[in-house]
Structure 1
Amino acid sequence: MTPGDDNDYGEPARTDEGPRYGGTRVRLPEDDPYGQARRGPRGPSRSMVTVVGVVVVLIAAIAFANRGGDDSPSGSSTSTAGGKPNATSTEATGTKPVQSKTGGIPSGFAHTRQGAESAAANFAVALGSTGMFQKNSRHDLVDTVYTTTAAAKLQAAMDQAYSADFLARMGLDADGNAPKGNTFVSRVVPVGTTAQAYSAAGAKVAVWYLGLIGMSGTTSTDPVTSSWKTWTFDLQWTDGDWKIAGDTQQDGPAPVPGDDAAATSDEISKAIEEYGGFTYAR
Structure 2
Amino acid sequence: MSQGDERGYGDNDPGGRSDDAYSTLGGTRQTRTRMPRGTDDGEGYGRRPARNSRSLVMIVGVVVLLIAAIAFANQGGGDASGDAGEKKPDAAGAGPTAATGTKPVEGKNGTIASGFAHDQQGAQSAAANYAVALGSAEMFDKAKRDAILSATHDPAVVATLQTDMEKAYSAGFLKAVGLNEDGSTPTGLTFVSRTIPVGTKVTAEGVDSATVEVWCTGVVGMAGDGSTKPVTATWFTITEKLKWSGGDWKIESSSQAQGPTPVTGDNRASTADEIAGAVEGYGGFTYAR
- Distance (Å, rounded) in 2 between the aligned partners of 1:11 and 1:139: 23
Task: Mark the structure with the bigger radius of gyration.
Answer: 1
Amino acid at match of 2:181: A
- Distance (Å, rounded) in 1 between the aligned partners of 2:112 and 2:252: 17
**Corresponding residue for residue 140 of structure 2:** 133
Q: Deviations over 1:127-184 (max 9, x none)?
A: 0011100101000100110001111221111011111111111110122111111110
**Corresponding residue for residue 2 of structure 1:** 2
Q: Give matches, 1:188-207, under 5 Å.
A: 188-207=195-214
Structure 1: stretches of 5+ with no match in the other structure: 29-88
- Distance (Å, rounded) in 1 between the aligned partners of 2:22 and 2:215: 13
Q: Tell me by how many angstroms 1:223 deviates.
A: 0.5
SS at 1:131 equivalent: helix
Which of 257, 261, 270 is equivalent to 1:250? 257
Which structure has the higher relative contact order (CA within 8 Å, separation 6+)?
A: 2
Q: Deviations over 1:215-243 (max 9, x none)?
A: 00101100100110000000000110000
Distance 1:10 1:169, change over 3 A: farther
Which of 219, 223, 227 is equivalent to 1:220? 227
Which of 191, 216, 223 is equivalent to 1:209? 216
Q: Deviations over 1:2-55 (max 9, x none)?
A: 24545537999889xxx9449x98237xxxxxxxxxxxxxxxxxxxxxxxxxxx
**Corresponding residue for residue 181 of structure 1:** 188
The total of aligned residue pairs comes to 218
Deviates more, 1:171-180 or 1:125-134: 171-180
- Distance (Å, rounded) in 1 between the aligned partners of 2:13 and 2:179: 17
Amino acid at match of 2:126: A
CA RMSD of aligned residues (A): 2.6
Distance 1:172 1:155, change over 3 A: same
**Corresponding residue for residue 26 of structure 1:** 48
What fraction of aligned residue pairs are identical, expressed as a percent?
50
The yes-or-no answer on 1:264 pairing with 2:271 is: yes
Amino acid at match of 1:185: V
SS at 1:221 equivalent: coil
SS at 2:212 equivalent: strand
> TM-score, normalized by length of structure 2?
0.70
SS at 2:241 equivalent: strand
> TM-score, normalized by length of structure 1?
0.72
Amino acid at match of 1:2: S
